[in-house]
Amino acid sequence: MDIAKSEAWLERAQKVIPGGVNSPVRAFRAVGGHPPFIRRAQGARLFDEDDNELIDYVCTWGPAIVGHARREVLDAVKARIEDGLSFGAPTAAEVEFAELVQKFYPSVELMRCVNSGTEATMSAIRVARGFSKRDLLVKFDGCYHGHADHLLVKAGSGAATFGEPDSGGVPAGTAATTLTLTYNDRDALQKLFADRGSEIATVIVEPVAGNMGCIPPEPGFLEDIVGLCKKHGAVSIFDEVMCGFRVAKGGAIERYGVTPDLVALGKVVGGGMPMAVYGGRREVMEVVAPLGPVYQAGTLSGNPVAVAAGKATLGLLNDEVYTKLEALGARLEEGLKKAATDAGLSHCVQRVGSMITLFFSEGPVRNFADSAATNTEHFNRFHRGLLERGVYWPPSKFEAAFLSVALTEDDIDKTCAAAAEALKG
């Protein structure tokens, strides 16, 4: 695949943007090679600066569940733009948007719009601390909740030790208020609450992990988080920025029947525009200013153009969409399994709804350590082979892939054929 123009753009970008990209994984350093610079997108296809056509399984890292440049969404955005881009004032549209979100997530009694998943999780944690009047945050190794200082933390030496900064620029004192546990480890979670339950302000979790590959929760894991928080006066937070509206119409809350105190939503909720939401139980959310003492504000929060895109996208999500996504996902899952089996490679495919990962290990992959131990060389060969054959797959073994309803069975079959060829090479 010729990417001469993209390579030229990367060289130019590196002179003015760190690494030439505005988010690290886009640099392709985990898989080698250079990233294609995308010029436009339509349906389930991306088109780069060299006019290569790519079947897309990144979907803007999740938002493009109805496909790129969907006419209903574009029309809604164009109509909104004609009346102005931003007002910094209340609008009727943001009320309608919140009411629509509530139809998907009935447990979200009060919500606040923000501009990114990082803002949503950061704000939800602040609310949880303000409500509980405690400081300690519990997260799980491998779950990514945005780039706020207290979330860029890696595990310490033990199962529940204080965290250490996982990024330059994060003060050790900030990281010291975060405790890390292993994802899906119910025993460690129960022990931590038994030892320090009265100090814990909140537990935040990706109910379906997507930042160490697609890893589902094991039976009882989510129930323990919510139940232990309730028992000890802490606040439970589901980070559904990635899995929200993806694993079911009502996200992980609907799929697993477990309701946390707060939820963070992003990606799909904004239809491709900078938009996210945090909200939940009325009693907890009433600590947010102007009702309470927890301050959070944003000039562009509830931006009318983003609200229009979000409303239009959510308005397209019906039962038929999820039936099709499930069928396409199952077809892709079986095709990837066959490709890896025929190539004689250890593997497992893990999928929840329209999130999917091909791991190169026997599996199951239950947590970050399991994910890290999968075969990187095989994944990189798989990724390069797909790209050469016109398939755009996430450029890291730690990132889940996504399906859109714009995909066809023929697209899936082409992808599986490309995977079979890539893995034989």
Residue 165 has pLDDT above 80, yes or no: no
CB distance 239 to 206 below 8 Å:
yes
pLDDT-based confidence at residue 271 (cuts at 50, 70, 90): very high
Pick the CATH number of 71-314 from 3.40.640.10, 1.10.357.10, 2.70.98.10, 3.40.50.620: 3.40.640.10
- Omega prior to 290 cis, within 30 of 0: yes
pLDDT tens digit sequence for 84-129: 999 999 999 999 999 999 999 999 999 999 999 999 999 999 999 9
Beta strands in 217-332 (DSSP E): 235-240, 262-265, 276-280
- Alpha-carbon gap, residue 245 to 406, rounded angstroms: 16
DSSP 8-class letter at 413? H
Has 191 been annotated as catalytic?
A: no
CB distance 197 to 229 below 8 Å:
no
Residue 159 has pLDDT above 50, yes or no: no
Q: How much is the average pLDDT of 311-331?
A: 98
Helix orientation angle between 319-342 and 409-424, rounded to the nearest 10 degrees: 20
pLDDT-based confidence at residue 161 (cuts at 50, 70, 90): very low
- Alpha-carbon gap, residue 160 to 141, rounded angstroms: 10
Q: What is the helix (H) or strand (E) element at residue 358, kind and residue range?
A: strand 355-359
Neighbours of 361 (CB within 10 A): 16
pLDDT-based confidence at residue 157 (cuts at 50, 70, 90): very low
CB distance 34 to 7 below 8 Å:
yes
Of 239, 261, 370, 411, which one is the catalytic site residue? 239
Of 267, 311, 324, 397, which one is the catalytic site residue? 267
Q: What's the mean per-residue pLDDT of the chain? A: 95
pLDDT at 173: 82
- Alpha-carbon gap, residue 251 to 280, rounded angstroms: 14
Cβ neighbours for 353, distance < 8 A, ≥ 6 positions apart: 243, 246, 247, 248, 255, 322, 325, 326, 329
pLDDT at 1: 86
pTM score of the predicted model: 0.96
So where are the chain's domains? 4-69+318-424, 71-314
pLDDT tens digit sequence for 375-409: 999 999 999 999 999 999 999 999 999 999 999 99
- Alpha-carbon gap, residue 302 to 201, rounded angstroms: 28
Has 50 been annotated as catalytic?
A: no
Please state the separation of Cα 190 from the chain's center in Å.
26
Of 57, 144, 183, 392, which one is the catalytic site residue? 144
Q: How much is the average pLDDT of 257-274?
A: 98
Q: Considering the domain 4-69+318-424 in this protein, what is its CATH number? A: 3.90.1150.10
Has 144 been annotated as catalytic?
A: yes
**What tokens does 74 get?**
């574009």
Cβ neighbours for 168, distance < 8 A, ≥ 6 positions apart: none
pLDDT at 171: 82
